[in-house]
A and B are shown apart, each in its own frame.
Chain A
């Protein structure tokens, strides 16, 4: 009864080894609400043990994408496979492999933490014999051991968020999907939740949506940026970090020379004037040293007062991608 007669064409069959390695594979995912296209033809692949950060401004389509990946919303077009099981053709089998924490945790305030987690385990078809262990393990992992007997309605927001995460991992799913898991938490709680997500990345695949950039850099292996329903950027954090490590610096000069003079220095790929006396200097690959620049500055008495690595490159990427399209 779940099968839909929607137009789902697989343009190119994925390679077999890709099918087995990928825990989530979504191709050509599109969702329309009336004439509004919330998500436009996005493709998403996730391997076991990977943590993917889904970034984007508010209303970019992150939540819609996650709702489709978890089977809460049917896509207008496209296919979703969870560990090779098609979400639209066999939703029950596919959903059994997914744990989902929506933006608002689906908590029953009138139940205790233990009752609630037991219910989640039952609903996710954890066999009777393993249920108590599964609940215990999820409680332990999310730091809920002390509050098992308390009513969820009486817990603080941070603890409720943890119960939401515990609910998503109680059945040891292959894929954990977390929609803004650290919203509304205090800094200590955020650190704990991040640690937990990092830990989850070991055995499960995790997709995490957020608009907090350092969060992505702290916990994710890979990042995709969404904007107006499209994926506008996709890369690994490692690649981002390579760019970041000293390759771009901010240079402050009290008596700045013309821009061309800096650009002419050896090993410099690009120079950009950020403020009258502040330059963003990008070194060409392999020549990530400011030696020549510092020497020249001293020689010519440019009044060097600042030399520091540029802002997080992810923020640059994010702002560039999401601003430029707005202007266009």
Chain B
């Protein structure tokens, strides 16, 4: 049932111009960033060879491209997620799902998986750019895998937060703005709050603050590290906001 709903979301995405616009913009901007980085790398490469442990193409080219993709997705995900619930309620099509014998959990998970699957495709397209260098240089596949995994977790967190925002209102644009504001707030404040708490010695509180700081959880992956703390924090972020979304939908049935 979850997969049925996820499939429906995917189909709906590709039937709307929004998905194609997002795909195009992502490709153009990350493509430009990739070529810029590659150009810079080729220019400074002669100097790099004199270093003891010179950074490779993956570190110099791929990592910044993934950073650009992450920043772009912070804008794109709220816009894509506003369709999930807010727009369905506005178009009064949500009734089809609400009248069907499916639980709220199925609906939320289905919609989450549908959009996340689409974004995994976006990430795959971004990953193809550094992979195209495979014939010309030796790539650090471990770092590349870390970047992909980190971006995937980051995006899952974005989707969960935006999905929750999408449950809060029937105005799609308001939902998108709320989601974007929440994500921006989490990136800015979550980071600062974590550091502030840690300098005061409240390490446990700082650990919890990291759940709400998706970019901080992305950092270790971006360095090719598998940090279990960051992994758990990312998964927790997704779980918390999906649970909130289920509860919100349930509350709407009670409130009307």
Contact of B4 with A33 in the complex, beta carbons under 8 Å: no
The residue of chain B having its C-beta at the shortest distance from the C-beta of A153 within the complex is B15
Residue interface mask B103-122, A partner, CB < 8 A = 1: 11100000000000000000
B92 CB-CB contact with A under 8 Å: yes
| Nearest Cβ on chain B to A143's Cβ, whole angstroms | 21
Does B95 contact A123, Cβ atoms closer than 8 Å? no
Interface residues of A in 1-40 (CB under 8 A from B): 1-2, 4, 31, 33
Interface residues of A (CB under 8 A from B): 1-2, 4, 31, 33, 64, 67, 70-74, 91-96, 98-100, 102, 104, 106-108, 110-111, 115, 119-120, 122-125, 167
- CB under 8 Å from chain A, chain B span 71-120: 92-105
Report yes or no: A1 in contact with B104, Cβ–Cβ below 8 A. Answer: yes
Q: A124 is contacted by which of B15, B95, B101, B105 (Cβ under 8 Å)?
A: B101
Evaluate whether A98 and B99 lie within 8 angstroms (CB atoms) in the complex, with A73-B253, A74-B254, A110-B15 already known: yes
Q: How far is the CA of A183 from the CA of B15 in the complex (A)?
A: 29
DSSP class of B's interface residues: helix, strand, loop or mixed?
A: helix
Cross-chain contact B101 with A92 (CB below 8 angstroms):
yes
Q: Contact at B93–A70, with CB atoms within 8 Å? A: no
Q: Would you mind naming 20 contact pairs between A and B with Cβ atoms under 8 Å apart?
A: A1-B246, A2-B103, A33-B256, A64-B256, A71-B98, A72-B98, A93-B101, A98-B99, A102-B92, A106-B92, A119-B4, A120-B96, A120-B100, A122-B4, A123-B96, A123-B97, A123-B100, A123-B101, A124-B100, A124-B101
Known: A1-B250, A95-B100, A124-B101. 18 other contacts (CB 8 A): A1-B104, A1-B105, A67-B256, A71-B99, A71-B253, A74-B253, A74-B254, A74-B256, A93-B101, A94-B101, A95-B99, A95-B101, A106-B92, A106-B93, A106-B96, A110-B15, A111-B11, A123-B97
Residues of chain A contacted by B246 (CB below 8 angstroms): 1
Tell me if B229 counts as interface (CB < 8 A to partner A): no
Distance to closest chain A CB from B31 (angstroms): 29
Distance in angstroms between the alpha carbons of A38 and B1 in the assembled complex: 34
A80 to B103 alpha-carbon distance, docked (Å): 18
Q: Which residues of A contact B8 (CB under 8 A)?
A: 119
Provide the bound-state CA to CA distance between A64 and B92, in Å. 15
**Do residues A111 and B15 form an inter-chain contact, with CB atoms below 8 A?**
yes
Q: CA A15 – CA B3 in complex, angstroms?
A: 42
For residue B253, which residues in chain A have a CB less than 8 angstroms away from its CB?
71-74
Query: Do the beta carbons of B12 and A108 come within 8 Å of each other?
Result: yes
Structural contact, A125 and B95, CB atoms closer than 8 A: no
- Pick the 10 closest A-B CB pairs, nearest first: A110-B15, A96-B101, A123-B100, A106-B96, A95-B101, A104-B92, A106-B93, A100-B99, A106-B95, A92-B101
A98 to B11, CA, bound (A): 26
Asked if B228 lies at the interface with its beta carbon under 8 angstroms from chain A, I say: no
A155 to chain B, nearest CB (A): 15
Q: In chain B, what residue has the closest Cβ to A38?
A: B256
What are the interface flags for B1-13 relative to A under an 8 Å C-beta threshold, 1 for contact and 0 otherwise?
Answer: 1001100100110
**A130 CB to nearest B CB, Å:** 15
Q: How far is the CB of A99 from chain B (nearest CB, A)?
A: 8
Contact of B1 among A64, A104, A123, A167 (CB under 8 A): A123
Nearest chain B CB to A101 CB, angstrom units: 9
User: How far is it, in angstroms, between the C-alpha of A111 and the C-alpha of B9 when the chains are bound?
Assistant: 12
Give min CB distance, B118 to chain A, whole Å. Answer: 15
- Say whether B16 faces chain A, with CB atoms less than 8 Å apart: yes
